[in-house]
Every structure is written in C-alpha cells, then in structure tokens.
Structure 1
Amino acid sequence: MKDQQQHKVTFASLIVTLGIVYGDIGTSPLYVFTAIAGHDVLTQELIYGGISLIFWTLTLQATFKYIFITLNADNNGEGGIFALYSLVRRRAPKWTIYVAMIGCAALIADGMITPAISLTSSLEVAQKALPSLPIVPGVIAILIAIFMFQQFGTDTIGKFFGPLMLIWFTMLIVLGVGAIMGHPEIFFALNPYYAVKLFQHHHNAWWVVGAVFLCVTGAEALYSDLGHVGKRNIQISWIFVKIALMLNYLGQGAWMMEHVGQKLYANPFAGIMPHWFVPFGSAISTIAAIIASQALITGSFSLIHEALRIKTWFRIVVYHPSKHRSQMYIPFVNWLLFAGCVFVVLFFKKSAAMEAAYGIAITIAMLSTTLLLYFYLTSRKAMPQWAIYLLIALFLAIEGVFFSANIQKIGHGAEFALILGGVFFLVMFTVYNAKLITKQKRNVIMLSKVLPTIRAVSQDEGIPLFSSHLVFLTSTRKKDLIEEAIPQSIYQGQPKRADVYWLLHFSEEDEPYTNYYKFTELEAGLIYRLDFHLGYKIHPDVSEFFPRAVNELAAQGKIQLKNHYPALQEHNVGPDFRFVLLDTAFLISPVMPIREQLLLKGYLLLKKIGVSAESHFVLEPGTWVKEQVIVND
C-alpha cells in the first residue's frame, strides 16, 4: 500500500503533516469564540458551555469519526470524498454519485469562504497593533499574491509550511497556558454537563451550536490529505494539534471569565496576547492563515481533478508545475476561487459577518462522507451490522444537530454558501447526466460488419494515403464493438486510407495510481486496439502514453513500425501517426423530453467554457484532425 510504503513516521514527516493537513482546523481559534460570544453578554454558562461543546465536537467528529474511523477507508493510500466513492460505487446504489457530488460541491464552496475568513480574522488581530491597518484592501492584496503564486507550484514553499505551523501551534499552547494560569478552574468546562446545560437553557443555543461547529470545519482535510502524508502521520500529529487547540480555547475562555457581565469587546485570541507580543503574534497568525488558504486552494484543485476523472466536470486545463504529479495547477479553478474569495471579502467585510456563511457547507460535506462511509463499512463487513447502524446513527445525529443549527443562519449569510455549493452541484449534475444521455444515443455496431469495407479502403491504392497509422479514440469498452461514426469517418466522404488503424480507449480505475495497458490485435496487421487502464489521479496524456506503448510493442515484436514509403524505409524513417478526433453533436429537437433538452444545452454551454479534446488528451500540434459527427435523436 502506498500509505505504508511512502509515508513512514519520522519527526520530519510529522512536521510536514502539520503544514499540509492542519492549516484550516489549526487557524479556527482566530474566530470561533468571536462567533460564539460575539452577540451575547458574557456569562459562565456561555463560556463553559462553549468550551465543552468545542471539546466534545473535536473529540467525536475530528478524533473519533475521522482519525479513528474514516482514515481507514483509504483507496490505495488516497483519501477524500471521491476516493471514498470510488471504493463503494460498484456495490452501492447508483444515487451515491450524487452524494459524492454534493460533498464535493460543498467543499469547493468552503474553499471560497475559508481563505476570506481566515485572512480577515488574522488582520483584525493585527489591527490591535496597527489601528490604521485597512482590513479589506489588505486581505485582497494577500489573496492576489496567493492566487498568482499557484501557477509556480507549491513544491518549494511547501517545505516551509511545516516549521511555520509548528511555530503557530507552539504559540497557541504558550498563549493558552499563560491565560489559563489566571483562571485554572476553566478545566472544569471540559465536563459535558456544561454543554448539555447550555443547549437546554441558553436563549440563543442554536446560534451558539452553529458557531461551535466552526472549530471542526477543517476535519474533512484530515481525510482529504491522506494521500499526501499517510494515516499514521495524521493520527500521531493530531495528538499534538488537539492539545494545542484545546489549551488555546481554554485560555480564551479563562480570559473571557475576567469579563463576565460585559459584551465581548475584542477578539479573545487577541485578548490573550501580551501587548508587547501583538505584532509578532499578528504576523504569525497571518502566515498561518495564508497556509490555511493555500491548503484549501490545492484541495480544491484535487477535488476538481478527481471530478474530471469520474466524468462529473467539463474538460479544463490541468498543469503539473512541479515534479510531483499530485501537485497541480488548474487556472480555471484558481481564478474562480479568487473571484469568489474577493467577493466574500467585499460583501461581508468583517470576519464576524462571514461566520454565518461559514460552516453549513462543511456540515453538508460531512453528512455526505457519513452516508458513503455507511456503504463502505457495510461492503467491507468491518464490524457487525448493528455496530455500523449505531456508529452511523451517532454521526448523523451529531451532524444533524449542527446542520439544524447552521440552517438557522439562512438570512444572515448561510444562504451564500448554499448558493455557491448549489451552483457547483448543478454543474456536476449537468455534466454527468448529459454524458449519460450522449452515451445512450451514440450508435455502436459490430466491428465484423464494417471490417471488409475498412480492409478494402486500406488496400485501395487509388485512394490517397491519409496516414501510415491512423488513431481513433473510442469510448466502447467491448472490443467487438465500434462507434458507427469511426467507420463512417474512414470510408464516407473523403476516405482515409492507412496501413494500420488504431482504436485507443482510456478506462478509469478505482485505485488512484493504476497505470497499465492491454494490447489487442483485432485484425492481423490492420486494426489494433490499446486499452489504457488509468487511476483517477492519472491524466490521460496521449502524447506520453501512446508512443511509449507503441515502442514497447514494437520491441516485443507484436507490431511492425514500418514506413509506408520505401524511400523513407531505406533511411530508417519511422511511420507517421495521425489522430482523428470525432466531436459528436446531438441535434436537440423539441420532441425530446424537457429534461434531456436542458441537460444537453447546459452541457454544450459548459463545453464552450472548457478546453478542447486535443488539449485534454495532450495531442501535439499537427498530429490530429477533428471532425464533427451529427447524431439525430
């Protein structure tokens, strides 16, 4: 397994884990207590109840659900909502694809809100030392720098994230312990009694519960980043992270206990800083917020890349700016996230206003993970069925409470996150279903029926040679079937004579890094087929995979790479290869069902936004031709 082979637990690996995994959940002390107590007069019930809820939320959701349970659901070492879906899709009902889509859409929406709230909160802390600091322009300036940097990759700067986050968590501990010394009784707040008491008696309990959920919004990253650092590194480093978080929350609670009876007049995180330390603490907070933003951006890249692989997103350009294929840059997603983050900052202006929009998206993502986790545990028979029911019921109950609390924020900003997530879900829903419709309408025939005609075209020297080797991309999995459009392209209109015809098929596999091919000689010396089996993390790069496979087959003697022209053969010039891309277009008629019309029209619009097939499959200029095939309903 990749996790076992590549992710050994060392001190260095644990430091790297701090930088990659914990940016989001690690910066939550910047704003959680402001969200909990920002609207109320401070009371012991509110402070103790808030701390108790934070502790048990981190324990049940982050520690129990993700660290102990979900991290075990790895797909060859990879984690995340689509990795989990890939593990269950062959055994689970077909509708689970929509559960994965909902979770993905919610996480991308969170990717627009998290950088905005983290950076705004950090600059608000810095404003204590620099009262004239302009928050909104400062946040936008940092966002511009962060998003412009993405095109260069995170390989180099990523090496600095771990040590910086170690400084951040150490600062959380030191500040928290310093404040706790003024009110050590705050440790009693860990008792669940205070959480129950607040929930039962506080006049604004639902709002407080919704605010408490902000402490665990980065928990999905514990699973999504599994492939980067490995399960054991996450599980061990979490011990340190949780201690640091709780000590800081306890310290903030101790500081607030000194102001019982007053309204919260300052960010408690800034309040526990000694005055002389504020400039240093503000700088470290801003760096931590930048790291948290970076983690959400790269996480969004991974999500969209995986959505592309399971055909729930339209084609867009994906770059790998560093030597690691797992690190990627997707320009469309990058600038879409940037526009969303800037809009959030300009619209809400203050972190307190953003808090209502923050949380509901991750609640939905967690519910999606829980549903898929049920099918995973059931299919693997990891425990008795009654235990699975009990476990899933526990998670659904907790997340249901948080969802109910966050839904109360509709009208106060939560609707913004729902609209964002809804738009992303609509895109995935449209692409996925439109591709199903086009697949159903695409005509396929038996290869044996058209084989004589293809052979005749290849042997007719009266037809000008189109290419020595002519390659068609096919979507059919069965080797005895072929899209009707392919033979029509060969012998209708202007015939395409070639010595050899190739059928090239890419098949997506559930495991992320699968990479192998199968060769089939469909007609001796005339028609070959290559089936590439690629994991969902591997991009179908034709310019890389196809020549390598052809050269290997030639070296094994399975094919002959001979130029058509004797004069060129004498000079050892290899044959030419040409690719034919068939762009299937469907005539959308009024007699089609309205649903199909809307889906196909939406998909055609999205295709215009996306990239062409030649860019997606990385075909070199001059090696391909494109033809449009019109299909009537």
Structure 2
Amino acid sequence: MSDNPKTPDAHGHKTSSAALILGAIGVVYGDIGTSPLYALKECFLGEHAPALTPDNVMGVLSLVFWSILMVVTLKYLIFIMKADNHGEGGILALFALTHKLTGDKGWLAKFALSAGLLGAALFYSDGIITPAISVLSAVEGLGVIAPKLETFILPTALVILILLFSIQHHGTELIGKFFGPIMCLWFLVLATLGVMNILKYPEILKALNPQYAVHFMQHDPLLSFLSLGAVVLTLTGAEALYADMGHFGRQPIRYAWFSFVMPALLLNYYGQGALLIQNPAAVQNPFYLLAPQWALIPLVILATLATVIASQAVITGAFSLTKQAVQLGFFPRVQIRHTSAKEIGQIYVPIVNWGLLIGVILLVILFKTSSGLAAAYGIAVTGTMVVTTLLAGIVMLKGWHWHWAKVSVLMVVFLVVDLAFFGANLHKIPSGGWLPLAMGVIIFTVLITWRQGKRLMAIRLAEIMPLTTDTAKLRHDITLHASGTAVFMTSNSKAVPNAFLHNIEHNKVLHERVVFLTLEVEDEPYLQVGERIEIQDLGSQFFRVISRYGFMEDPDVPTTLALCARLGLVFDLEKTSFFLSREIAIPTVRPGMALWREHLFSWMGRNAASPMEYFNIPTHRVVDLGCHLDI
C-alpha cells in the first residue's frame, strides 16, 4: 500500500491523507491510547512495586518515556514497519514474508514457522485480555465518582462487553466513522488533564532525562527490573501499529504518532506523575483523579467509549488474523462474512467472535479488576514483541541483504529491551501470567497440528494416484460419457482428487471435459490478475487448473473460471458440475503425528466450514463425495 495515496488532484490528496491519519488515530492507537487508565497505577501497586517516593516516580516516568521512544518509535515505527509484505503488516504477514525468503527446508525455515505461529497464538491471547482489562479499567471510574458504585463495576463491564460482541455481525461501517473523532477527543482530554497537573509541578518534566531512569535502576536493580513488568503496560498496542499498516499506510500512522498521539500520552503520564508526587494517596486511581470532580462522569463515559473502540480494533484484528491463518493453511475453513460492500477487509468470523466473548467473560469474572488482569497482560504483549523482532531480523538479513554485523547490532539492542520486559513479567506467572501462556500453547498446538495434518493428508493422497498426463488414458477405458464439464476440486495439484476416483469406481462415467482445480494461497497479500491462472492440458479433454490468491484475498471459484476464458478455457456454469472431496482423517498408529494430535486434526476437519460457501460455488451444481483416509 502506498504511503501517500494518489488522488486526482492536490486537494483530494490532502483530504485522503487527513482521512487516513484520522482513521489511524481511531483504530491503530486505541489500545495504546487507553493504557493511561491503568499503566502508571500498576507501576506503584502490587507485591514488587517500588515505594511511592518522588525519586521513584521520576525514575519510573523516565523509564516510561525512554521505553516508548525505544520500542514504539524506534523499533516499530522506524524499523519494523519497513518489513511490510507488499504493504501488509502483522505477525502472519511477517511470517509469510519470512517463509518466502527461507522456503520450507532448513532450521531457519522451521524457526520462522514456529516463531510466527507462536506470535499469532499470543495475539489471540491479547485479543481476549485487551477488551477485559480496557473496559474494566474505564468502568472502575464509577468507584471514584462514588464508593457506593463499586458494586456495579463488574456487572456494568460485563454488559458493555456482551453488547460489544453481540453487534459484531453488523460490522463497523456505520459506527466506524465516529472512531477517529472520539479518539481525537480522547487524546485531547489526555493531554489537557496532563498539562493541568504538570503546571502544578513543572519539575516533573526533568524525568525526560535518562539519568533518572539510570539512577532508579542503580538504586535497587532487582526491584527496578521487576517494575519493568508494569512499565511495559504503557507499550500495549504497539503491535497494532504494524498490524494495521495495510489499512492506513506507513506515513499516516507515523504522522499521527509524532504529531498527536505520543505527545498526548506523555503529557498524561507525566501529569499522573506530578499528581502522585503531590498526593501519593491518588495511586489508587491516578488517571481519574487527574480530573476535577465535576468532570468525572463525562470522563468515565468518554473512557468507556475509548476502551470499546480499543477493544473493537483488537476484535477485528483477530478476525483478520483468522482469515490469514485459514488462507495460509494453519486453520480449518471457517464461516467468514463480509460486513461491508465497500471495504473488503471488513469481515465477521462468528466462531472467533463468540470464542473471544466466552474468554473475555471468564477473565472478567475470574480476575474481577484491571489490576488482577495486568499480570496476565504483560506476558502476551512482551512475547509477541520478541517474536516480531526475531522475524524482522530474518527479513533484514535475507530480504534486505543487510550486513550481518548491522543486523546483529540491531537485534541485540531490540532483544535486550524485549527480553528484559519479558523476563520482568515471568514472576507474574503464578498470579495470572500462566493464562496467556496456556492459551498460547493451546492455540499454537491447534495451528501447527492443522498444518502438519494437511501435509500428511496430501502425502497419503499423492500415494493413491499421482496426477500425470497418463491419467487422460482413463477416457479410453470408460465407455459412458456425460455431457458438460466436471470440475474436481483438489488441494493437491499433484494428485488426483478422491472424488474423481470414487466417481470412476462407482459411477463408471466421465464427463466430456474434466478439470482438476486447485486454489493455492501465496505468501503475498494480493496478486495481479495475470499471476492468478495456470492451465495445463493433460490431453483427451483433461485439464489441470491452478488458481493462485493472496492471503488477504477471498478465493472465488466462479471468478476463477471466468479468468480461465482469457487463456482459452471457457466454462458455462449451467453445464458445469462441481465434485468436492471430503476426506475424513482416520487416526492410526502409522508414522505421522501423535495419536492425540491426529484425533484433534480429525475433529477439526469434520467441523470445518462447507467448501461450497467458502469458495462461493453454486450449490445447485455441487456433488459432494466423501472418503476415509488413514493418517
């Protein structure tokens, strides 16, 4: 995607850029923009929190500033966002790029695969934790307004979250236009509240000096190291800068950060620091106590809207990630609905939506407060950061052909920071950090099992009958011929579909024309029309057609057949029958995967979405044939 979208005239160009910047503020920065609700509070609460002294406040604020500068600004905005896959970002887009560079073989390819899937698994964990902690932290403002309202915090948060997930099937086309203005107002309020309190204690700005961070670390190395586990909460949402690059472009995201978002965040954090130095008792909720009493109710309402928007961005990100996972062969087909006729990227995935909702409700009930959830949050965020750094290093070395010494220096700098944050969160495992790790392991197992299971199935199918030009000789052995065209769908372009074999064995009939159709997904997000279709004439009216798609695109069989006409292979859909193979995996003790993983793969295969709907095949022209296959 271009950083500067082209429009017919200069005025149009400015309008388009402004709209992209506004959209980036509304979507990209929702997560990191709501961190002031809970991040600084967590730095001074908890078992390993430093004492609430002026020196410690200055030290923590210095760490916050330099962490944001190092991780968000330098790492993500300057370096990571350069590692785009034809304009697309995000953990699976980055994996697809590294896969294209490393291939399927070798330790580097295996490492990239494992790292990419682990990062994707942790992103799903983040997708469950973010709505829970964000909405809870906003609604906790009720307790600041009046202590009697504290009993309403939990049920109010649950109602908001249930409503949020319940309206997902409508899409964000209608309400999405309000995201940008609401988040702009939110960041203006953050900056205003911060400035109001900084003016009362201007000395707080001295904490911009890194010496305060160094002094804080030297005074008590262990305690200051553990405090990084809370400081990292100011960086939550950094991955969204990269993941949403395809929607808004690199430059609009950067402009929004440098000119508006980062100043607002820093002013608010430093305002909270000024408040804590003057009134240590405000540590119970320094964000809301920045505001005068009369502003609390509208501030709680605005904060709730901001956290809903932040949650929406994570939810839609999980939908997009699922679509990429299906396209890249890491997840079974699922029902994907498009919620906008204008924006192809606006989708709704029911199974993911309701799965996230169940997870979010369980988290809120289990942990009850934003402070309780903070322990679980850090592990998911820092784990994803480490994975992104490692994959980006492969791109720098293999894709950009940077000198290994230059790459090594950058990797050391970034990994020292990332691993420090990750290590500082490990002590939280017993108190909640186990949750994202457990979810990550489960999701990783599902993703890698599906990929390996599909490969085993492809090997077994190829063993039955390879696809060669000799296959066309079958026509001479079959005496019955049906009019029209038979299209046999197959995921393996080197094997004859089971549906074809069953049709020959049981019906003893061939159509006038037989086409073996394979839809393949490439490691690029989008493909040009000229790159999509490959046709091989096998003789005797047998054809093999391979249709290629990008991992951000929707495979569509009627569109594929229409494109074949350009290469001389014309289809009449009313005279075309589609034969689908439903291979049911039968777990066995033969070499392959562990038996329990084979059972998991078999269960996922049986519950996958119908290929008719997924590939947009006309239902009245489909013949569905199934078979059992030992793996």
Same fold (TM > 0.5): yes
Q: What residue in structure 1 maps to residue 605 of structure 2?
A: 607
Distance, in Å, in 1 between the alignment partners of 2:355 and 2:203 is 47
| Residue type of the alignment partner of 2:91 | I
**Residue of structure 2 aligned with 1:344, choices 353, 360, 363:** 363
Distance, in Å, in 1 between the alignment partners of 2:264 and 2:630 is 63
Q: What residue in structure 2 maps to residue 567 of structure 1?
A: none
Query: Partner of 1:244: helix, strand, or coil?
Result: helix
In the TM superposition, what are the counterparts of 1:299-448 in structure 2 within 5 Å? 299-323=317-341, 324-381=343-400, 383-442=402-461, 443=463, 444-448=465-469
Per-residue deviation at 1:91?
A: 2.7
**Residue of structure 2 aligned with 1:295, choices 277, 291, 313:** 313
| Residue type of the alignment partner of 1:536 | F
Q: What residue in structure 1 maps to residue 37 of structure 2?
A: 30
Structure having the larger proportion of residues in helix: 2
**Residue of structure 2 aligned with 1:75, choices 56, 72, 85:** 85
Q: What residue in structure 1 maps to residue 134 of structure 2?
A: 118
Q: Deviations over 1:521-572 (max 9, x none)?
A: 5145712332211000112122x4244235x34xx7x24668xxxxxxxxxx
Distance, in Å, in 1 between the alignment partners of 2:481 and 2:547 is 31
Q: Give TM-score scaled by structure 1 length.
A: 0.91
Distance, in Å, in 1 between the alignment partners of 2:155 and 2:597 is 40
Residue 453 and residue 610 in structure 1: after superposition, are their counterparts in 2 closer, same or farther (change >3 A)?
closer
In the TM superposition, what are the counterparts of 1:150-549 in structure 2 within 5 Å? 150-202=168-220, 204-239=223-258, 240-260=260-280, 265-323=283-341, 324-381=343-400, 383-442=402-461, 443=463, 444-457=465-478, 460=479, 463=480, 465=482, 468-477=484-493, 481-483=494-496, 485=498, 487-516=500-529, 517-523=532-538, 526-542=541-557, 544-549=558-563
Per-residue deviation at 1:114?
A: 0.6
Query: Partner of 1:403: helix, strand, or coil?
Result: helix
Residue 3 and residue 512 in structure 1: after superposition, are their counterparts in 2 closer, same or farther (change >3 A)?
farther
Contact 2:328/2:521, CA 8 A, preserved across alignment: yes
**Residue of structure 2 aligned with 1:16, choices 15, 23, 28:** 23
The number of residues matched between the two structures is 606
Per-residue deviation at 1:487?
A: 4.7
Distance, in Å, in 2 between the alignment partners of 1:159 and 1:284 is 16
| Residue type of the alignment partner of 2:116 | A
Contact 1:153/1:328, CA 8 A, preserved across alignment: yes
Per-residue deviation at 1:90?
A: 2.8
Query: Partner of 2:507: helix, strand, or coil?
Result: coil
Contact 1:126/1:283, CA 8 A, preserved across alignment: no
Distance, in Å, in 1 between the alignment partners of 2:544 and 2:175 is 43
Query: Partner of 2:518: helix, strand, or coil?
Result: strand
Distance, in Å, in 2 between the alignment partners of 1:81 and 1:561 is 39
Query: Partner of 1:374: helix, strand, or coil?
Result: helix
Distance, in Å, in 1 between the alignment partners of 2:630 and 2:399 is 44
Residues 526-535 or 215-224, more deviating: 526-535
Q: Deviations over 1:269-305 (max 9, x none)?
A: 0111011111111111111001000000001111111
Aligned alpha-carbon RMSD (Å):
2.1
Query: Partner of 2:486: helix, strand, or coil?
Result: strand
Per-residue deviation at 1:609?
A: 3.4
Residue 515 and residue 49 in structure 1: after superposition, are their counterparts in 2 closer, same or farther (change >3 A)?
same
Contact 2:538/2:544, CA 8 A, preserved across alignment: no
Q: What residue in structure 2 maps to residue 571 of structure 1?
A: none
Distance, in Å, in 1 between the alignment partners of 2:23 and 2:6 is 14
Contact 2:499/2:626, CA 8 A, preserved across alignment: no
Distance, in Å, in 2 between the alignment partners of 1:195 and 1:561 is 69
Q: What residue in structure 2 maps to residue 138 of structure 1?
A: 156
Q: What residue in structure 2 maps to residue 86 of structure 1?
A: 96
Distance, in Å, in 2 between the alignment partners of 1:586 and 1:288 is 46
| Residue type of the alignment partner of 2:365 | L
Contact 2:380/2:437, CA 8 A, preserved across alignment: yes
Q: What residue in structure 2 maps to residue 624 of structure 1?
A: 622
| Residue type of the alignment partner of 2:23 | V
Per-residue deviation at 1:52?
A: 0.8
| Residue type of the alignment partner of 2:453 | A
In the TM superposition, what are the counterparts of 1:571-590 in structure 2 within 5 Å? 575-590=574-589
Per-residue deviation at 1:469?
A: 1.0
Residue 172 and residue 446 in structure 1: after superposition, are their counterparts in 2 closer, same or farther (change >3 A)?
closer
Q: What residue in structure 2 maps to residue 104 of structure 1?
A: 120
Residue 520 and residue 61 in structure 1: after superposition, are their counterparts in 2 closer, same or farther (change >3 A)?
same
Contact 2:131/2:360, CA 8 A, preserved across alignment: yes
Per-residue deviation at 1:4?
A: 4.3
Query: Partner of 1:529: helix, strand, or coil?
Result: strand
Per-residue deviation at 1:484?
A: 6.4
Residue 156 and residue 575 in structure 1: after superposition, are their counterparts in 2 closer, same or farther (change >3 A)?
closer
Q: Deviations over 1:377-422 (max 9, x none)?
A: 0113354321110001111100110111011101111111111111
Query: Partner of 1:533: helix, strand, or coil?
Result: strand
Return 5+ residue gaps in structure 2 as ranges: 8-12, 103-107
Contact 1:309/1:508, CA 8 A, preserved across alignment: yes
| Residue type of the alignment partner of 2:83 | A
Query: Partner of 2:263: helix, strand, or coil?
Result: helix
Q: Deviations over 1:590-619 (max 9, x none)?
A: 3x2473433321101122333133333232
Q: Deviations over 1:327-384 (max 9, x none)?
A: 1100000000111111111101111111111111111111111111011001133543
Distance, in Å, in 2 between the alignment partners of 1:293 and 1:468 is 51
Query: Partner of 2:347: helix, strand, or coil?
Result: coil
Distance, in Å, in 1 between the alignment partners of 2:399 and 2:534 is 33
Contact 2:98/2:395, CA 8 A, preserved across alignment: yes
Distance, in Å, in 2 between the alignment partners of 1:174 and 1:400 is 34
| Residue type of the alignment partner of 1:581 | L
| Residue type of the alignment partner of 2:312 | Q
Paired-residue identity, %:
33
Query: Partner of 1:238: helix, strand, or coil?
Result: helix
| Residue type of the alignment partner of 2:32 | I
| Residue type of the alignment partner of 2:92 | F
Distance, in Å, in 2 between the alignment partners of 1:226 and 1:624 is 39
Q: Deviations over 1:483-534 (max 9, x none)?
A: 2635523421212331111111112122212153325251457123322110
Query: Partner of 2:109: helix, strand, or coil?
Result: coil
Q: What residue in structure 2 maps to residue 569 of structure 1?
A: none
